[in-house]
């Protein structure tokens, strides 16, 4: 299995990073994509890839980007720093980037401008995109459409939207990342109903650790911290709503992630 979204630079992993990676490997994960959410965090996840490369060869990769929450931090130097990071061999996608009109921690117009800068960088670098979107699907789709002819692959990570939004993203030829949200009997019922509509070759899986702990883990960990070793619970939640077995979903999403991030020959 490949976990396409891990926030390994989060402080909740500071005390036991090596043990977390060992448990992931023991659970059958072959590769993890560590999420960059700011210039500083993008540098941090790249450093984690390198710090643990001897113990976990060809296992850790990273993205570089500025989350829409932090769009207000974007300045004239940010793009140059992201471009520099994107050139590093461990960095396999541009992002996390997109729009978040749910909390609007950065002004919407600024989010849009920073998002477009990321799209242009992905086109320039010929790299896939790791996308975030919350309560902003219509505007995000409009912006992507303007660039789509020149963009390569892109994944809407941690999809939690409804059927109309899902189909709009699929019509745009995007991939869909599914997290433990699909295992949540309170908030994830809509996703569970529609996850079977995602073509298997466009589906990828992620924990978004340490967030979104799958609620089908019994018993739940006392610290409520999610980690990559729990990815199989996400697969199990998806398999409950699709015709394929958990084993088929794990194998197919692994192959898709390897192709999407250009990891087929990185062993």
Q: How many domains does the chain have?
A: 1
Residue 63 lies in a domain: yes
- What is the CATH number for 188? 3.20.20.140
Three-class SS state of 5? strand
Asked, for residue 266, whether it belongs to a domain, the answer is: no
The domain of 68 spans 2-260
Q: Is 267 a member of any domain?
A: no
**Within a domain: 72:** yes
The rounded distance, in Å, linking the Cα atoms of 168 and 152 is 17
In a domain, 134, yes or no: yes
Instruction: Give residue 3's region: left, alpha or beta (phi > 0; psi -120 to 50).
Output: beta
Phi-psi group of 61: left, alpha or beta (phi > 0 → left; psi -120 to 50 → alpha; rest → beta): beta
Contact between 207 and 227 (Cβ < 8 Å):
yes
- Domain assignment of residue 105, yes or no: yes
pLDDT (tens digit per residue) in 93-120? 999 999 999 989 999 999 999 999 999 9
Evaluate whether residue 99 is within a structural domain: yes
Alpha-carbon dihedral sign for residues 158, 163, 165, 170? positive
Residue 13 in any domain: the answer is yes
> pLDDT tens, 185-195?
999 999 999 99
Task: State the greatest distance between any 2 C-alpha atoms of the chain, in Å, as a whole number.
Answer: 49
Q: How many whole angstroms separate alpha carbon 106 and alpha carbon 112?
A: 10
The model scores a pTM over 0.85: yes
Using N-to-C axis directions, what is the helix angle for 137-147 and 108-125, rounded to 10°? Answer: 30
Rounded average pLDDT over 62-71: 97
d(CA 232, CA 180) in angstroms, rounded, equals 10
């Amino acid at each position: 299995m490949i976990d396409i979204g891990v926030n390994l630079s989060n402080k909740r992993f500071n005390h036991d990073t090596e043990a977390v990676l060992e448990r992931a490997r023991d659970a059958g994960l072959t590769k993890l994509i560590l999420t960059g959410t700011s210039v500083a965090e993008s540098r941090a996840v790249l450093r984690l890839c390198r710090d643990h490369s001897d113990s976990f060869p060809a296992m850790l990769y990273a993205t570089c980007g500025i989350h829409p929450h932090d769009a207000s931090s974007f300045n004239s130097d940010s793009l140059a720093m992201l471009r520099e990071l994107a050139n590093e061999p461990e960095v396999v996608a541009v992002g996390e980037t997109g729009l978040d009109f749910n909390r609007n921690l950065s002004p919407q117009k600024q989010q849009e401008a920073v998002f477009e800068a990321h799209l242009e960088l992905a086109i320039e670098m010929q790299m896939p995109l790791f996308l975030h979107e919350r309560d902003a699907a219509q505007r995000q789709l409009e912006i992507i459409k303007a660039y789509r002819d020149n963009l390569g692959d892109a994944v809407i990570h941690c999809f939690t939207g409804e059927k109309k939004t899902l189909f709009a993203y699929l019509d745009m030829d995007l991939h869909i990342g599914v997290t433990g949200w699909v295992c949540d009997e309170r908030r994830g019922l809509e996703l569970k109903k529609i996850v079977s509509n995602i073509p298997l070759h466009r589906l990828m899986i992620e924990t978004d650790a340490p967030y979104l702990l799958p609620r089908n883990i019994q018993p739940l960990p006392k610290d409520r911290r999610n980690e990559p070793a729990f990815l199989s619970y996400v697969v199990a939640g998806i398999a409950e709503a699709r015709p394929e077995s958990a084993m088929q979903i794990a194998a197919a999403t692994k192959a898709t992630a390897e192709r999407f991030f250009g990891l087929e020959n990185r062993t």
